[in-house]
Amino acid sequence: MVMNKYYNKVRYSKKFEMYDFEFFDVEKIDFFYGEKKKYRIGKFISLIYKKCIRSRNKDDRSYLNRNGFVYVSKREIEDLLGIRDNLKLIRSLSKSGLIKFRREGRSKYDYNKKLWFFKLDDRFYSCKKSRIKIEDDLLNRRLDKLNVFKKKKLGLGENIEVDKLDKFVLYELYSCKNSNLNIQNLDEVIENRIENKLNEIRDRVSWIWISNKKRNKELSKISELENWKDEYRIELRNKYEIIIEDLDNLKNGNYIELSESYFKRDNYGKRLYNLYSRVIREYRDYVKIDNEDVVELDIKSCMISLLYVFIKELNKESVNSNLIVDVKDKLLKLNNGSIENRNGSDFIDKYKIVFDGNGVFWSDKNEIEFDDYYDFIRVSYGIEMYRSMSRRCFKDLLWSVLFSGKIKSKGIKIGKENIDKIELRLLGNSGKNLINDIKRIDLRDWIKDKGGRRKKYDSGKNVSLILMMMENNLMDMIRDKLINEDIKFISVFDSLMIKKSEGKKVLKMVNKMLSVIDNSLKFRMKLS
């Protein structure tokens, strides 16, 4: 940096970039808003664009996200558009139709302040664009200061308190830095993803337990099939470009350009997020670590296997887990000191052969073979149901039962079976009672709080909270071992991306570790 006597004469390194969109390019921004504002407005539009691409999900429960709106903090607005002029500029951009904005919700730190949500004109996503250097020295200066702050926040700056860092997050960052993604046949991969997504939708509308409302919602997505395909192609290409750009920024130390959701722990369930956490499987197949192909290891039927382990631990006289001790104490209080018929013991007895067994099982008539809980349930409904309904159908059914409140699951039916009978089939009588009791106790103290107002607590999600915390305790144990062995890895919740040359060695290592915890927990190697 070179600085003379006057602050407004500052000259700063031009390492930060923004998009130059063909739809509304830098020259047009300059024409309408002037030289001093063009890079600030351009960077603001680029910020909204990247947030939208990363989070775009039409299946999202949030109305705003489902309709293309993304949250932008007041600090981000002021950093880019200035403290004085930001509201004026936002209204001008909105009036011109380039953006839309909504003021919704409340700040967790100040209830009187509404949050900002933005949406871009759809033409930004389909037009040609290029990355250009920001020529505004003062803006570059501000971005560099923010970059230094972000670097420290990630634990990469100087004078960092080591004891406050999450070594697992840092190691994932290190592994991601040593990764790359280069898909030469991108068009082919995109078409493959489109076909897979179509098959998922077609499968979902066939599920016997979903409501007509949900079925029609799924069908509406592809009512205009060719339009849907065209839009999805654009979305998938944009997502790929963002991943490549994020990798580039990570390697070059431009941390301010990375998503806030990267390299952090979730406050709810303590899940670890990295650059690849939300990248689709079709793209992850092309990830390399140290320029070597990777294999993916994941825990077989992770959530239901952890439920099995949780119930077994719950029924022991003494356990080491503070979480399970707390849950048990609260269940005992809920039921006046006894959970004898509400402890899930019949779930253990009924499905012990599936979780603890090794190998393939058959139906009574030896007509169907299966090797996990979900197929066991599918078989229980008969051969015709087994053949017509997918494994995913019953996996999502179980999740709907376990991870939602009683009201949300009330309307679920399979033939003459209402939700009570379905729960009985899936969980057994005492298993059903246990799950419904868990949804009645208060576990909010297990949700990490960073200050400000807490989000509304939903006890109906207690089961998911318990299982996610168990998953992450287990994964942290695995991560610790791999770090000590100097093995690079990239985790995606219950799975690990490992260099292909180390895949068999790591698989043997982690399964040996899991066997000490419980025989029902097993890593497997995913096949592409």
Q: Are 434 and 339 in contact (CB under 8 A)?
A: yes
Reported as a single tens digit per residue, the pLDDT across 320-341 is 899 999 999 999 999 999 998 9
- Mean pLDDT for 346-368 is 76
CA atoms within 13 A on the CB side of 218: 17
Q: Is the pLDDT of residue 10 over 80?
A: no
Reported as a single tens digit per residue, the pLDDT across 394-424 is 999 999 999 987 666 778 999 899 999 999 9
pLDDT of residue 9: 52
Using the CB atoms, write b or e for 159-181: b if 16+ within 10 Å.
eeeeeeebebbbbbbebbeebbb
Query: For the whole model, what pTM was predicted?
Result: 0.91
- Rounded-to-integer distance, Cα 139 and Cα 155, Å: 24
Closest CA to 208 of 376, 413, 424: 413
Q: What is the DSSP string of 361-413?
A: EE-TTS--EE-SHHHHHHHHT-HHHHHHS-HHHHHHHHHHHHSS-HHHHTT--
Give the lowest-confidence range in 1-15, 151-165, 200-214.
1-15
If DSSP codes are grouped into helix, strand and coil, which group holds residue 428?
A: coil
Reported as a single tens digit per residue, the pLDDT across 46-88 is 999 999 999 876 455 566 777 889 999 999 999 999 999 999 9
Q: Are 14 and 133 in contact (CB under 8 A)?
A: yes
- State percent of the chain over pLDDT 90: 75
- Rounded-to-integer distance, Cα 343 and Cα 358, Å: 26
C-alpha to C-alpha distances, 115 to 64, 95, 98, 110, 309, nearest whole angstrom: 12, 20, 20, 10, 41
pLDDT of residue 188: 98
Domain boundaries defined on the chain: 1-14+134-153, 17-130, 162-301+467-526, 303-465
Q: Is the pLDDT of residue 436 over 50?
A: yes
For tokens 């039921």, name the residue: 335
Q: Is the pLDDT of residue 5 over 70?
A: no
Give the lowest-confidence range in 255-269, 342-356, 438-452.
438-452
pLDDT of residue 365: 59
What is the 8-class DSSP label of residue 497? E
What is the 8-class DSSP label of residue 290? T
- Name the pLDDT band for 364 (thresholds 50, 70, 90): low
Q: Which residues contact 360 (CB under 8 A, 6 or more apart)?
A: 369, 370, 371
Reported as a single tens digit per residue, the pLDDT across 20-32 is 999 999 999 999 9
pLDDT of residue 60: 52
Using the CB atoms, write b or e for 449-459: b if 16+ within 10 Å.
eeeeeeeeeee
Closest CA to 435 of 465, 393, 408, 401: 401
Higher confidence at residue 132 or residue 366?
132
Q: Which residues contact 330 (CB under 8 A, 6 or more apart)?
A: 441, 442, 443
- Name the pLDDT band for 199 (thresholds 50, 70, 90): very high
Q: Which residues contact 500 (CB under 8 A, 6 or more apart)?
A: 292, 293, 294, 295
pLDDT of residue 1: 47
pLDDT of residue 457: 86
For tokens 């290029």, name the residue: 130
- Name the pLDDT band for 6 (thresholds 50, 70, 90): very low
Q: Which residues contact 378 (CB under 8 A, 6 or more apart)?
A: 370, 385, 386, 389, 391, 393, 394
* Mean pLDDT rounded to a whole number for the chain: 90
Q: Which residues contact 201 (CB under 8 A, 6 or more apart)?
A: 218, 219, 221, 222
What is the 8-class DSSP label of residue 180? E
Using the CB atoms, write b or e for 103-116: b if 16+ within 10 Å.
eeeeeeeeeeeebb
- Rounded-to-integer distance, Cα 506 and Cα 487, Å: 9
Closest CA to 434 of 318, 314, 354, 527: 314
CATH number of 17-130: 1.10.10
- Name the pLDDT band for 528 (thresholds 50, 70, 90): low
